[in-house]
Structure 1
């Protein structure tokens, strides 16, 4: 099934985690790292996070907010929310297919 948003390109796990975190509320880097670890168990290094933030900002899926106390918060944009929604639908299809395929088949050894 072709994507509605061809510019999604290769969707990385880090990009997905960042968009999920920002879908809740705007956050700065340290708070995103803590949130992502809490909901996914994934520990991101700052360099990994900031590389993803740069790519997401270039695509227009997140935008920086005014810096406060040396912290640069970001928020998800409407195109970012649409990209996240589409990617989550793709992941649901993948999960459903995998769940069906790992079911035991009667009569197999």
Structure 2
């Protein structure tokens, strides 16, 4: 079983545009084949908002679990930097294994 960082998964899910919690988890499931538990998902959303990497989208009156959120410009930069770093590590590891990247 692979371990994924919940915050990185949430940022990836939001890269295409604003989503509410359930839709974020659905996007994560499409990406990695599994859903985050409610504590992991909403904990990640809360931490990302506290770090100002995501922010509420237009529908401010929605319930917390139905409130859409979006990446901030800083969140987009952090995600790009994280993904580039992960890609570099993956490429080095695959090269060491003498495996062609997929």
Task: Report the TM-score range of the alignment, normalised by the length of the smaller protein.
Answer: 0.7 to 0.9
Q: Tell me by how many angstroms 1:64 deviates.
A: 1.3
Spell out, residue by residue over 1:6-49, the C-alpha distance to the aligned partner (whole angstroms, 9 max, x if none).
xxxxxx71111100110111000001111110121121111110
SS of match in other structure, 1:27: coil
Contact 1:26/1:74, CA 8 A, preserved across alignment: yes
Runs of 4+, deviation exceeding 6 Å: none
Counterpart check, 1:89 vs 2:80: no
Question: Highest Rg: 1 or 2?
Answer: 1
Q: Normalized against structure 2, the TM-score is what?
A: 0.84
SS of match in other structure, 2:39: helix
Counterpart check, 1:16 vs 2:15: no
Contact 1:29/1:46, CA 8 A, preserved across alignment: no
Partner of 2:50: 58
The gaps in structure 2 that reach 5 residues or longer are none
SS of match in other structure, 2:27: helix
